[in-house]
Amino acid sequence: MIPYGHHDIDEDDVAAVSAVLRGEWLTTGPVLEQFEADLRGFTGGTPVVAVSSGTAALHVAYAAAGVGPGDEVITPPMTFIATQATAVALGATIVFADVCSDTANIDPGAVEAAITSRTKAIVAVDYAGHPADMDALRAIADQHGLILIEDAAHSLGSTYKGRPVGSLADITAFSFFPTKNITTAEGGAVAVRDAATLQRAREFARQGLVREPSRHRITGEGPWHQEVHAFGLNYRLPDVLAALGSSQLTRLAAFKARRAEVKASHDAAFAGRADLEIPAQRPHVDPMWHLYPLRVPVNRRRAVFERLREVGVGVQVNYLPAYWHPAFADLGFPRGLCPVAEEFYRREISLPMSTTLTDEQVAVVGDAVIASLEH
């Protein structure tokens, strides 16, 4: 089976993890601090809080933004449901805005139409690694006094108009799951531009603990004292995983280049096919391609998917529109809310995309797709 996604681990990664295992710190310590510093080199200098997963990063982002009961959060439906679930966990109401037909990223026009007096935040998801239209979304957020959050689970290493993802939104959430652009096995991070919001993010991810004596409300307890002002959760990323992340970051540019080569090879394989639509790239964007979302004829999608799996090509579909999940359907969200997203879903198949794919495997995938359409 040619895998749909695959981690890329080398001996330097193994050595970095082994060094931590032989040291004094396994959990949150100096190696985590170094990983956070290393990440800043890829977020345009925006400070970073590393956490235990991409889902944790989203939860921390919403909590730091002050999202809570009565607030509305505007999101696209073309994303993994963690984008919405973590806001719902804080008591927020999700409002879905449709996507652009070329990129499957949230449509700024649909966002503008969805804003109400209860809107708290706009969430842009960088689908497949292609950044959303952040300037347009920034203008809308500023006009209405809203918080702009970027779900960049797919897009570490991407740039928008020459600016790195991590520097574009008020808060940016990353994922380091094994199939992502770098991995810490499990892990994530939030990049936060505002100092007060950054402090809330860090404390929420560390169980709410306040350690600085100057901020303590209980005094005279002694040098051991720490206290909680607002409840948080244990979203710590261990040093042993942070070591893997720092090592992986040294190869981020090489990872990006290889993913671009795979994307170009897939594109060439399907050139001139009127029945296929390859992933779009807008001129002002330099993506780190996380997925290769190919669109095939609606009436052939399932057959093509099953045929590819039969011949050993590990394809996937990304994603079921979020409000189709029973958890949202049970809340009264009907189908048809976002017709562009639904049409995209009905045609989409994610082909294998990873840095470990060989040229031969990429060629096999292209040939198998063509054969499956003619089968």
Reported confidence tier of residue 171, pLDDT bands at 50, 70, 90:
very high
- Asked about 180 being catalytic, the answer comes back as yes
| Half-sphere exposure (Cβ direction) of 291: Cα atoms closer than 13 Å | 27
Question: At residue 247, does pLDDT exceed 90?
Answer: yes
Domain boundaries, the chain: 11-249, 252-374
Instruction: State the average pLDDT over residues 20-46.
Output: 96
Reported confidence tier of residue 81, pLDDT bands at 50, 70, 90:
very high
How far is Cα 194 from Cα 66, in angstroms, rounded to an integer?
13
pLDDT at residue 375, rounded to an integer: 78
- Among 120, 180, 256, 263, the one annotated catalytic: 180
Question: At residue 282, does pLDDT exceed 90?
Answer: yes
How far is Cα 173 from Cα 186, in angstroms, rounded to an integer?
14
Asked whether this chain's domains 11-249 and 252-374 adopt the same fold, the reply is no
CATH architecture of 252-374: Alpha-Beta Complex (3.90)
How far is Cα 25 from Cα 245, in angstroms, rounded to an integer?
16
Average pLDDT score, the chain: 97
Q: Encode pLDDT of 316-373 as tens digits.
A: 999 999 999 999 999 999 999 999 999 999 999 999 999 999 999 999 999 999 999 9
Reported confidence tier of residue 98, pLDDT bands at 50, 70, 90:
very high
Provide the angle, in degrees to the nearest 10, between the axes of the packed helices 30-40 and 239-249: 30
Encoded tokens for 300: 């052939």
Encoded tokens for 275: 């029945």
Instruction: State the average pLDDT over residues 65-89.
Output: 98
What are the start-end ranges of the H helices in 27-123? Answer: 30-40, 54-64, 82-88, 108-114
The correct CATH number of 11-249 out of 3.10.129.10, 3.40.640.10, 3.30.565.10, 3.40.50.10490 is 3.40.640.10
pLDDT at residue 32, rounded to an integer: 98
pLDDT at residue 349, rounded to an integer: 98
How far is Cα 289 from Cα 350, in angstroms, rounded to an integer?
12
